[in-house]
Amino acid sequence: MAKFYLIGKISEELMKRMQNDPSADRYASTKKVTEAVGLKLISYEWVRGRFDVISCVEGEYDQALALKIAFKNSGLMDDLMVHEVIDYNKAFQNAANAANTVIKPGK
């Protein structure tokens, strides 16, 4: 099972809805949709900055992609990125192994 961070920018529609109902429980709503695609919601935070929401989920990539599609198609998110947590040591070891096999033209 993989871990993913979803980082999103809410739409004007959601911003207006939240202003009209500031006590709305977006965590519960997000958890329901997350579980519907088979993911486990680890965290859900509203943040300051370029993006508005960051959540951490566990599951498979196709499930994380399904969550992105569902939220984007709902009109509640303008942008939603999916970032998979990786083992950077393994990635750089693989890169080091590959670098040893690179043949430069003319050598």
Q: How far apart are CA 74 and CA 69, in angstroms?
A: 8
Domain 2-99 has CATH 3.30.70.1060: yes
Residue 20: C-alpha distances to residues 5, 16, 34, 48, 56 (Å): 28, 6, 24, 20, 27
Q: Judge whether residue 61 has pLDDT over 90.
A: yes
Stated pTM of the model? 0.85
Question: What are the tens digits of pLDDT across the range 92-102?
Answer: 999 999 998 98
Residue 102 is predicted with a pLDDT of 87
Q: Judge whether residue 87 has pLDDT over 90.
A: yes
Question: What are the tens digits of pLDDT across the range 18-49?
Answer: 999 999 899 999 999 999 999 999 999 999 99
Burial class for 51, CB neighbours closer than 10 Å (0-12, 13-18, 19+): middle
